[in-house]
Amino acid sequence: MFYPEEMTEAEIIITAKDLLAVTRALAGMGVFQQADASYLSVEKGLDSTDDWQERTSSYGALERRILNVMQTLGIEVGSPPSVDRATMVDVGTISTQVEQTEQAVQTVSRQLATELKKLEVLESYLRQMEPVAGIDADITALRHPRYLFSILGTIPVANVERLETSLARMPYVLLPLRQDNREMVVLLAGARNNADVLERAARSAYLNPLNLPEAYEGTPPQIIQALHKDISASRQRIGELQSELAKLRDIHRQPIQILLWEARTSRLLADAITHFGRLRYTYLVVGWVPSSRVEELKQRLKKISSNIIVETNPTRRSTAPQDVPVALRNPGLVGAFQLLTTTYAQPRYQEIDPTVLMTVTFPLLFGAMFGDLGQGIILALGGILISTRKVKSLRSLASLGPIVTACGVVAAVFGVLYGSFFGFEDVIQPLWMRPLSNILTILMIAIGAGIVLLSVGFVLNMINAIIARDLGRFLFDHNGLAGFVLYWSLLLLAASIAIKGFPIPTVVFVVTAVVSAVAVMFSEVLRHLVEGHRPLIEGGAGTYVVQAAVEIFETLISFLSNSLSYVRVGAFAVAHGGLSAVIFILAALASPGHGVGYWIVVVLGNLFIIGFEGLIVSIQTMRLEYYEFFSKFFSGGGARYRPLKLQPAQSE
């Protein structure tokens, strides 16, 4: 739990007759992460890598076609078949079935698309005719006059004067047909040889012309009536086509789902085989398996054939290569917080998985900043509701439900310690202290807690260095032993100066601080020295000294800023109480006699605090975890464990 799962490298040699059976077994177990061994191929033949790549492409193309049909019919993907039924099917067989289904669906689908487009055009015509619905004149006569140019349309009332000014020096007719407060329906007419000028003036005045449908004639009411009739007929036809698609959906739902999973399974198996090494008479399969599942894998392969050879090599963390996949197996609540860890970075195989620490420290920091019994309970109940996936709009946040619940519970506990219940501080007595009444104390405690967490980060970094057998990093890194000694020397130096009668002389801390600072400052030289790396200094000595001085200055600044960053824990605890007090002041102003208005403001204020301040506190907690705590020991950059699977997990 504190480290990624131990992995074993496996090399499997199989004969051609066992090729599909072994591939299906590996994919069916879902524990084998394949590595590419195709570069080891020594023979090109009937079953060459190129042939399997072509099959993979063919299956992929069929899968995309099937998904398009399913999308057209509105058919869900469905559940994958059992592993025992999963197999590779012939490309031609699937292709024939897909073509038959496509033809039946596409014929209706194209007709429906055409009819929908027709309906859209008809409705557009209708919208254009509505402004002139009250005009009792045959406007189709305006379409193709020989000597007259005219525009029938709508214009903002405020722009009529602009249009008249633009056309002041030429003959024209502007006939208002209908007007409301904002727009006017007008007919602009003039000589055809002035058409360009009339059209430019109309555009500048934002006169929107009405595009009359060519197929309709008569007065606007007659055209509108004809459009309504055609729209009704079009909608009826659309309904008929949709009914046909619904019938096709019912007929093809199960067969198309089966086809999809056959194509998908075949593609996955074929793609896996493309990465096998093709030897003269056998295939070589290379990959990674969690050490706890190696024997299970061996037993599964033995059932297929006694001729299968399996060679395994457990991977030590200290000598593991960078490409070792990292499998995190954190159960229950810890697994929920794994999401926050991997959002920052994927742990490397050689380093500690900080998820357990995140599970403990994240709710503690959040609860300390958001301490309230009532609000914490509401937050916890909200997290439980999110986890149930019963609220459709919140299903995408279901993975965060346990985190919200844990933070709510801890916030409720701190609410008891602070004596706060929905902002009221006279309902329950505090078991510890009220932040608003002990501001300096809560700030100092927050800094002290930060120092403890940072110290844990130093220790964890040193443990990671020991595991990786990196002596230079352990001794001289600014987050290693030298940095740890420097950090605590400075803290104790400040304490010895500030506290009279401190038991250890100040000079001791001065000496340890100077020695550790020099070690951190020249860490690169010292690391090269203990590791036997030459030259000790890369580049000029003067340049290195300047660079080392800047780095020690940055280290000291980071120590100070990291420590003081935790003051925000106490500050937000105080701000939380202050914001609650403001809510009660506003409630008293709204209803001095504690009437209905008072309680409405109190309820809305508490909801605001839970939502808005809860979000801000979450962000601040994440910042403390990522940039102050994780940065001390967690580098990340590991390769994610992606085993070969026929059935994807629910989370995927």
Query: Contact at 8 Å (CB) between 300 and 25?
Result: yes
> Looking at residue 207, what DSSP letter applies?
-
- Cα four-point dihedral sign 537, 538, 541, 545: negative
- DSSP lists the bridge partners of residue 188 as 151, 174
The C-alpha atoms of residue 511 and residue 438 are separated, in whole angstroms, by 36
Looking at residue 139, its pLDDT comes to 67
Between CA 170 and CA 177, with CA 173 as vertex, the angle to 5 degrees is 155
Q: Burial level of 27, CB count in 10 A (0-12/13-18/19+)?
A: buried
C-beta neighbour count of 239 within 10 angstroms: 11
CB atoms closer than 10 angstroms to residue 476: 23
So what's the pLDDT on residue 14?
94
In this prediction, residues 148-162 reach a mean pLDDT of 87
Enter the tokens of residue 506: 């100040």
143 in helix, strand or coil?
A: coil
Q: What is the mean pLDDT of the chain?
A: 89
Contact 178, 134 (CB under 8 A): yes
Q: What is the pLDDT of residues 349-381, one digit of tens each?
A: 989 999 999 999 999 999 999 999 999 999 999
Determine the pLDDT at residue 143. 64
What is the tens place of the pLDDT at every residue in 157-193? 989 988 988 888 888 888 887 787 888 888 888 888 8
Closest CA to 357 of 481, 480, 456: 456
User: Looking at the predicted structure, is the pLDDT value of residue 271 above 50?
Assistant: yes
pLDDT of residue 553: 93
CA 574/CA 588 separation, integer angstroms: 21
Task: Tell how far CA 398 is from the center of its chain.
Answer: 13
Q: Look up residue 512 and give its two tokens.
A: 């340890």
For residue 367, count other CB atoms closer than 10 A to its CB. 27
Which amino acid, one-letter code, is at 267?
R
Cβ-based neighbours of 225, under 8 Å, separated by 6 or more: none
For the chain, give the percent of residues with pLDDT over 90. 62
**DSSP conformational letter for 306:** T
pLDDT for 177 equals 79
Euclidean distance between CA atoms 512 and 640, whole angstroms: 42
The pLDDT value recorded for residue 187 is 84
**Of residues 202 and 279, which shows the higher confidence score?**
202
Residue 308 CB-density burial (10 A; 0-12 exposed, 13-18 middle, 19+ buried): buried
- Tell whether the torsion through CA atoms of 212, 218, 224 and 225 is positive or negative: negative
d(CA 502, CA 436): 31
Scanning the structure block, which residue is given the tokens 């699977």? 645
Three-state SS string over 152-182 comes to EEEEEHHHHHHHHHHCCCCCCEEEEEEECCC
Give the chain's domains with CATH numbers. 1-37+275-327 (3.30.70.120), 44-122+225-273 (1.20.1460.20), 128-224 (3.30.70.2750)
Q: How far is CA 228 from CA 115, 124, 134, 237, in A?
A: 15, 12, 16, 14
User: How much is the average pLDDT of 324-347?
Assistant: 92
Tell me, what's the pLDDT at 340? 94
Residues 295/130, Cβ–Cβ less than 8 Å: no
Q: What would the DSSP string read from start to end of 106-151?
A: HHHHHHHHHHHHHHHHHHHHHHHHGGGTT--S-GGGGSS-SSEEEE
Q: What is the pTM of this model?
A: 0.78
pLDDT tens-digit map of 623-632: 999 999 999 9
Q: What is the pLDDT of residues 134-144, one digit of tens each?
A: 777 676 666 66
pLDDT for 432-488, tens place per residue? 999 999 999 999 999 999 999 999 999 999 999 999 889 999 999 999 999 999 999
With beta carbons less than 8 A apart as the criterion, state whether 337 and 362 touch.
Answer: yes
Q: Answer yes or no: are the C-beta atoms of 30 and 644 closer than 8 Å.
A: yes
CB 139 within 8 A of CB 131: no
Q: Is the pLDDT of residue 416 over 70?
A: yes
Of 64-68, 125-129, 336-340, least confident by mean pLDDT is 125-129
* Tens digits of residue pLDDT in 542-580: 888 888 999 999 999 999 999 999 999 999 999 999 999
User: Residue 540: phi, psi to the nearest 5?
Assistant: -75, 150
Please name which of 343, 351, 344 lies closest in space to residue 326, comparing C-alpha atoms: 351
> Rounded CA gap, 465 and 459, in Å?
10
pLDDT, tens only, 76-101:
988 877 776 678 888 888 899 899 88
DSSP 389-428: T-SGGGGGGGGGHHHHHHHHHHHHHHHHHHT-BTTBSSSS
pLDDT at 622 over 60: yes
Q: Are strands 639-640 and 325-326 parallel, antiparallel or unpaired?
A: parallel
The answer to whether 644 touches 272, Cβ cutoff 8 Å, is yes
CA-closest candidate to residue 407, choices 333, 338, 345: 333
* Mean pLDDT computed over 11-27: 92
Check whether 46 has a pLDDT greater than 60.
no
Residue 48, pLDDT score: 66
Say if CB 219 and CB 135 are below 8 A apart: yes
Question: What is the pLDDT averaged over residues 502-513?
Answer: 94
Contact status, residue 489 vs residue 512, Cβ threshold 8 Å: yes
- Give the pLDDT of residue 278: 87
Q: Give yes or no for a contact between 343 and 384, defined as CB atoms under 8 angstroms apart.
A: no
Please tell me the predicted confidence (pLDDT) of residue 275. 92
Rounded Cα–Cα distance for residues 254 and 256 (Å): 6
What is the pLDDT, as a whole number, of residue 47?
58
In this predicted structure, what is the pLDDT of residue 8? 95
Radius of gyration over every alpha carbon of the chain, rounded to an integer in angstroms: 37
Tokens of 320: 């593991």
Mean pLDDT of 413-429: 94
